[in-house]
Amino acid sequence: MTTPPPADEPSPPSRSAPLASHDESGQVPEWLRQPAEEHPVGALERLRLFWENHTQAVTAVVGGGLVLVLLLGAGWFDLWRRAGETPRGYPTISPPSGVSATTDTKPATSGTKPTSAADTFAGTPAATFAEGAAGITLPPARRAGVFSATEVAAALADVRAALRLARLDRKFLAGGEFDRFVRMFAPASRSEIRADFRDTSFATYATRLAPGARLTADQPRVKGRVTYRATRDNEGIRVLEITTNFVWAYAFHTLDPTPGAGVVVVHDTVVWHVPHPDDVASSGVGLWLMESESYASNMDCASFDKGLLALGTPSYGLPVATEDPDAVFDPDRSLDITDTC
C-alpha cells in the first residue's frame, strides 16, 4: 500500500498590514485630514492592545510554560504510575506438600570478589540472592513416616551434595568430576545417569559449560526451596521424596554494560527419591533421580541444544519470552515457558 503525497499546505497569512500611502492623484486622503477622535481606553482595551503588540513574546512564554507544565506533569504521573504499578502477572507453581525451607534472602558476602564480577549481577534480582552453596538451605530433619530424623538428615545431605556438585562445582562445570557425580546415586540407578550424559537430558539437573564459555570469579547466585515428605512410589516402595526448586544465576564475562547482559539463568525442579532400605535390594539403597525439568534464559541456543551453557550471542540466546523480565529469576515461576531458540 502506498501513501498519497500530502496536499500543498496553504501559505501562512502575512503578519504585517499594508503601509498607509497617498492615493494615485497625489492628494492626501480625506481620512488623514480629520483629527483623530480620542476614546478613553479601558482595562480590556489595554489588554487587547498589549496582546496585539506582544503576541509573539507572550505566545512564546505561555507556550514554553505550558510545555514545562506538561513535562513536569508527565514526570510526576510516571513516578506515580511506577509507584503504584503491580508486577505483570506470570504463571506460578504451588509449593509441594511437606517440610520446606527456602533460601535466606540475605546474600552471603565473601568480601573478596572482584568489583567487575559483582557488577555482573547489578540491576537484576540475582543481586540479592545468596552466593553459591549458601543458597541451598535445608529444612529441619524430622521423622517422616518410617524414616527417622537421622535418615532424613542423611538423605537431605546427599541431595545437597549432589546439587553443589552438579550446579556449582567449577571442575564439574568445566567437564570433570563425572564419575564422582555418578557415584552419588544408588548403584542400580547409575546406568540411567550415565545415559543422560550421552544426550542432553542431564541439562535439566546439571550444568556443563560450552567450550570457550568463561565464568567470572564471582560465585553463582542461588535462590530456591527444598521440601521433603514420606510417600510411596508407583511400585508401592516407601520412599523419602525430596523436591528441590532452584534458580541458578551464572555470571559470564561480557563487555556489554547493560544490567544483566552477562547473567545466564537456569531454573530447575528436581524430584529425588531415597527408598527405605527394607523395601529394596542393596543395589537400590541410596539416591535416585526421578524427575527433572528446567529452563534457561540469556543462554546461547546453539550450545544449549547440546545441553551446554554459554552466554547468548547476537545470533542466539534471546531472553526467554515471559510476561515480566524478572520472572525468570523467580523460583515460583512456572517452568512451562515459551522457547525463543
Indicate yes or no: pTM above 0.75.
no
SS3 17: coil
pLDDT, tens digit, 9 for 90 and up, residues 87-106: 567 889 889 999 999 997 65
* Cell numbers 481620512: residue: 31
Residue 61 DSSP class: H
Query: What is the rounded CA–CA span in Å between residue 67 and residue 207?
Result: 55
Give me the mean pLDDT over the 112-128 stretch: 72
Q: Which residues of 2-26 are buried (b: 16+ CB within 10 A; e: fewer)?
A: eeeeeeeeeeeeeeeeeeeeeeeee
Closest CA to 91 of 340, 338, 333: 333
pLDDT of residue 25: 40
The larger pLDDT score, comparing residue 319 to residue 95, is at 95
CA triple 226-153-235, angle to 5 deg: 75
Query: What is the rounded CA–CA span in Å between residue 201 and residue 193?
Result: 9
Q: How high is the mean pLDDT of the chain?
A: 78
Give me the mean pLDDT over the 16-26 stretch: 37
* pLDDT score of 265 more than 50: yes
Q: Could you tell me the residue ranges of all domains in the chain?
A: 54-85, 99-329
Alpha helices in 54-145 (DSSP H): 55-84, 115-118
* Of 13-17, 132-136, 247-251, minimum mean pLDDT range: 13-17
* pLDDT score of 287 more than 70: yes
Those residues whose C-beta lies under 8 Å from the C-beta of residue 165, and which sit 6 or more positions away, are 172, 177, 180, 181, 184
Q: Is 109 exposed, middle or buried (0-12, 13-18, 19+ CB in 10 A)?
A: exposed
Closest CA to 297 of 325, 251, 324, 265: 265
Our measurement of the distance from residue 198's CA atom to the centroid of its chain's CA atoms, rounded to an integer in Å, reads: 31
* pLDDT score of 317 more than 70: no
* pLDDT score of 120 more than 70: yes
Q: Which residues of 304-330 are buried (b: 16+ CB within 10 A; e: fewer)?
A: beebbbbbbeeebbeebebeeeebbbb
Closest CA to 294 of 197, 171, 206: 206
pLDDT, tens digit, 9 for 90 and up, residues 150-182: 999 999 999 999 999 999 999 999 999 999 999
